[in-house]
Structure 1
Amino acid sequence: MKTMTVEDIVRRFSFEVLSGHDQMHRVLKQLKVRRPGLEFMDKFDFIATDHVQILGKNEINYLHTLSEEESKLRIGNIVRYDPPCIVITSNQEEPPGLISYCVEEKIPVLRTNDSTSEVSEKIDAFVIKAMAPEIAIHGVCVNVSGMGILLRGKSGVGKSETAHTLIGRGHRLVADDIVVLKKLSPQTLLGSHNEKNKEFLALRSIGLLNVVRLYGRKAFQEETRIALDIELTKWEHNALNNELELETKFIDYMGVQIPHIQIQLQPGRDVAGLIEAAANSWYLKQQGYSAAEEFVKRLEEDFEEPQSK
């Protein structure tokens, strides 16, 4: 898990630093920002420490109604939560005593033009993603019809070549060779590149390609939520499944269960087309549709029709 500091969010969002220039090293330990509420009223039934504290219009207007001494008292209640920093939203004027108190307590005070809701969403999304547990795996990550797909298989099986074919059909490369997986939640796995391999695709007998330079921005995507794990394997006679509907199998990445299928390779087989079919079939299943169920229903209707006459 990456360590995030106040300096990271200042740089990312171009926040104005009102105080605490020498405290930019303070570490962000919590994934969610907080807005003080009961803290201003001296009630501490539940203390959530180490959160970035956001002061919106309601909080700032309230503090402006107080004397500097009273304002410091209320601000002191927030400081008890040991926030890595305090952010003033909507470019509001800092209330009396805020800067001087936070300088004493070594708490950076930042300011932004963005609204409270915008700041909360931006910081939460940025910090959650940056601090998410991650692993790197060997494979290729592509976005097919809006769905993230991991292509895995032994070296030389044709993962990158298949990705190149998919790009030619209008889909997008996310990462080749090394895929960085980030766990954003128990159900959400994000696939991305490791910066060094960004936009690059390595093809045997051809060499290294920059897909953006060759095919334009539409050929590349920074990250994608992983929906399917597809393993490309060598062709094995009499090993293909011909059931109407296969039982869903899963593979585990950091506790996140991802649907997994195998596609066997053979000269002349349209692997890219099969991957497109798998992606579209998965999407329909999420919408509650099953081709196998519809097929069986048709058979049953045909079987029952003569009996009703």
Structure 2
Amino acid sequence: MKKVTVENLIQKFSLNVLAGEDQLEKLITQPGVHRPGLEFVGCFDFFPTEQVQILGKKEVTYLEKLSPEERKIQIKNLVYYHPSCFIVTTGEVDFDHLIHHCTEQGIPLLVTNKPETTSEFIPKLETYLIKELAPEMAVHGVCMNVSGIGILIRGSSGVGKSETAHTLIRRGHRLVADDIVVLKRLSSQTILGTHDEKTKEFLALRSIGLLNVVRLYGRKAFQDETRITLDINLTKWEKDALYNDLEQEFHYTDYMGVKIPSMEIQLQPGRDVAGLIEAAANNWYLKQQGYSAVEEFMDRIKADITME
């Protein structure tokens, strides 16, 4: 199971610590955040204590309208359930009761120090947690962003994946990862491709060696992550194995329960594999927009027949 600590949140979002300084290694194991609402009226049946608890302007305004004794009881009730941590995202607040009970129960109490609203902070936090806690797997291959389309390029060792990636980079496309591609399942329909940090910006070419694509070609040659849209498998040429069908049917590869459209491209000396990958990416995009070259071609044929 992936893990994020409270200390990770502090470093990522530059949060200040008001209580629970000795509990910063406390784990957050579930993505998403929670803003107490029903809990303020005594309903704790669905209180997601494993999530980060956010106290924004609405929550703080409600607590400030209570008498000191009522406020103390409400805060004590929240803290009693031992959530992973509290983050206060509003300005000046009477923190006394919060600090007291969080310190007593060993719960980190954090506060933002940037001038942003709760609605601005929460999406950033949720995006970070979803990515960090997403189920992941590593595959051997290359990940590229080609004309805005995330492509996973696979194939046996030495087949030419990195060389093809280099050609694509020279044509203005972006490398995401070479050799080891980390796939993260963000949802039932979304796989994110990224690197494993150690290989970030590096491309290994046989006979040449290790290249840093950013140093060679500039920042435009690299992208930190991309949504995987196509899975392309490079294979060795097999005579009579290719068909001249007007439209190739997509197969699918399953990655952690998400089916990604996949296709095979065979290699042969002189064949422009990078160009074929560009064509596959652009053709896929057009299909998503509702356009089919085959349908247009057939319509022209039908129109000619009708005129005759």
Aligned equivalent of 2:228:
226
- 2:142 aligned residue (140, 143, 153): 140
**Is the Cα contact below 8 Å between 1:60 and 1:95 reproduced in 2?**
no
1:107 is matched by which residue type in structure 2? I
| 1:244 and 2:236 aligned | no
Matched residues in 2 for 1:137 and 1:175: separation?
11
Aligned equivalent of 1:23:
23
- Partner deviation per Cα, 1:4-49 (whole Å, 9 max, x = no partner): 1111111111101111111101111221101111211113353333
Aligned equivalent of 2:180:
178
2:271 is matched by which residue type in structure 1? R
Summarize the alignment of residues 106-117 of structure 1 with structure 2, pairs less than 5 Å apart.
106-112=106-112, 113=114, 114-117=116-119
Matched residues in 1 for 2:165 and 2:74: separation?
57
Matched residues in 1 for 2:52 and 2:46: separation?
16
| 1:212 and 2:214 aligned | yes
**Is the Cα contact below 8 Å between 1:51 and 1:82 reproduced in 2?**
no
- 1:128 aligned residue (127, 130, 137): 130
Matched position secondary structure for 1:97: helix
Matched residues in 2 for 1:83 and 1:45: separation?
14
Matched residues in 1 for 2:61 and 2:228: separation?
44
Summarize the alignment of residues 1-309 of structure 1 with structure 2, pairs less than 5 Å apart.
1-112=1-112, 113=114, 114-306=116-308
1:106 is matched by which residue type in structure 2? G
Q: Which ranges of structure 1 fall in alignment gaps of 5 or more residues?
A: none
Matched position secondary structure for 2:226: strand
**Is the Cα contact below 8 Å between 1:229 and 1:261 reproduced in 2?**
yes
2:24 is matched by which residue type in structure 1? M
Q: Which runs of 4+ in 1 moved over 6 A?
A: none
Structure 1 stretch 226-235 or stretch 46-55: which is displaced more? 46-55
Task: Give the number of equivalent residue pairs.
Answer: 306
TM-score where L is the length of structure 2: 0.96
- Partner deviation per Cα, 1:60-114 (whole Å, 9 max, x = no partner): 1221222332112111332244311111113332444111111111111111133
1:243 to partner: Cα distance: 1.0
2:110 is matched by which residue type in structure 1? L
1:223 is matched by which residue type in structure 2? E
Matched residues in 1 for 2:75 and 2:299: separation?
67
1:42 is matched by which residue type in structure 2? G
Matched residues in 2 for 1:76 and 1:283: separation?
54
TM-score where L is the length of structure 1: 0.95
Matched residues in 1 for 2:307 and 2:94: separation?
78
**Is the Cα contact below 8 Å between 2:49 and 2:84 reproduced in 1?**
no
Structure 1 stretch 265-274 or stretch 296-305: which is displaced more? 296-305
Q: State the percentage of identical aligned residues.
A: 63
Q: Which ranges of structure 2 fall in alignment gaps of 5 or more residues?
A: none
* Aligned CA distance change for structure 1 residues 84 and 94 (closer, same or farther; 3 Å): farther
1:116 to partner: Cα distance: 1.0
Matched residues in 2 for 1:265 and 1:297: separation?
33
1:64 is matched by which residue type in structure 2? E
Matched residues in 2 for 1:85 and 1:47: separation?
13
**Is the Cα contact below 8 Å between 1:152 and 1:159 reproduced in 2?**
yes
